[in-house]
Structure 1
């Protein structure tokens, strides 16, 4: 009979929570891959940080740095339709 958590090929529960697979050096912690992706919105460079499915279709949360008169450069986060977001290879 198996012995509960951590007895399989995936390591202990502590290893899995720490992002390590079974048998790896416990001092090495895996770095998660960020979901953020470079993109363009209206030709300007931006960062896509999240997707959401809505009644209207897919939308992405995009962070951009824009020039606002009388303020200067500002960071703007907004939800945009997928059609407005251009991927950058």
Structure 2
């Protein structure tokens, strides 16, 4: 929408506007991870990664690692990444095995 990005922001960064919103942020400290638990990736801010040959989209795709979890078969990462679809880019969010993710 026209002008929507500037209304009320007065040039402030998104982080500054979020801080002034009154909505509480994440807790200061997170309990240590243990088997079967989930934990945020990148200290809760997400972390860039490469997604290697995800289902239905062979190749290497840039992604954002959001969270880790441990299952009986090993570690999995929850990632968001885009792939080329029939009508343009498609956003995918999925749990993938750790061996399909490479540190970016």
Query: Normalised by the size of structure 2, how large is the TM-score?
Result: 0.50
Runs of 4+ in 1 over 4 A off after TM superposition: 17-20
Gaps of at least 5 residues in structure 2 are 1-23, 29-42, 53-59
- Asked if the contact 1:35/1:50 (under 8 Å) is kept, the reply is no
The aligned counterpart of 2:88 is 72
Alpha-carbon distance in 2 for matches of 1:66, 1:87: 18
Offset, 1:44:
1.6
Pairing partner for 1:61 from 78, 84, 101: 78
Task: State whether structure 2 residue 99 is matched by structure 1 residue 86.
Answer: no
Pairing partner for 1:41 from 17, 32, 51: 51
Count of residue correspondences: 59
Bigger RCO (CA 8 Å, 6+ sep): 2
Pair member with larger Rg: 1
Query: Normalised by the size of structure 1, how large is the TM-score?
Result: 0.57
